[in-house]
Amino acid sequence: MNINVVYFARYREAMGMDGEELNGTFATLEDVRQELLERGGNWSVLGEANLMCACNQDLCKLDEPVADGDEVAFFPPVTGG
């Protein structure tokens, strides 16, 4: 399965890239996140409890199913004043 992973805000800065294509076997966004966390180092920011995510530009939770060709996005929570 190929999925496109996109990183936003400080996650993009931590990874040093806007996104990437990821190949593997994933059932949910959590599976994708775990694959990335296994890289260690800067990727540990994806382990934050308040991480936000989207699948195909729709906000969702980590238990969201993923399919071949999906776009997955990870971003920190947005705050405002």
**Do the domain assignments include residue 45?**
yes
- Residue 81 forms part of a structural domain: no
Give pLDDT, residue 1. 94
| pTM of the shown model | 0.92
Tally of domains in the chain:
1
Is there a contact between 46 and 74 (Cβ–Cβ < 8 Å)?
yes
Give the torsion through C-alpha atoms of 71, 23, 13, 48, to 10 deg.
Answer: 80
- CATH value at residue 43: 3.10.20.30
pLDDT at residue 26, as a whole number: 97
User: Which residue range is the domain that position 46 belongs to?
Assistant: 2-75
Query: Tens digits of per-residue pLDDT, 17-76?
Result: 999 999 999 999 999 999 999 999 999 999 998 999 999 999 999 999 999 999 999 999
Using the predicted structure, report yes or no on whether residue 81 has a pLDDT greater than 90. Answer: no
Q: Which residues contact 15 (CB under 8 A, 6 or more apart)?
A: 7, 42, 43
* Residue 80 belongs to some domain of the structure: no
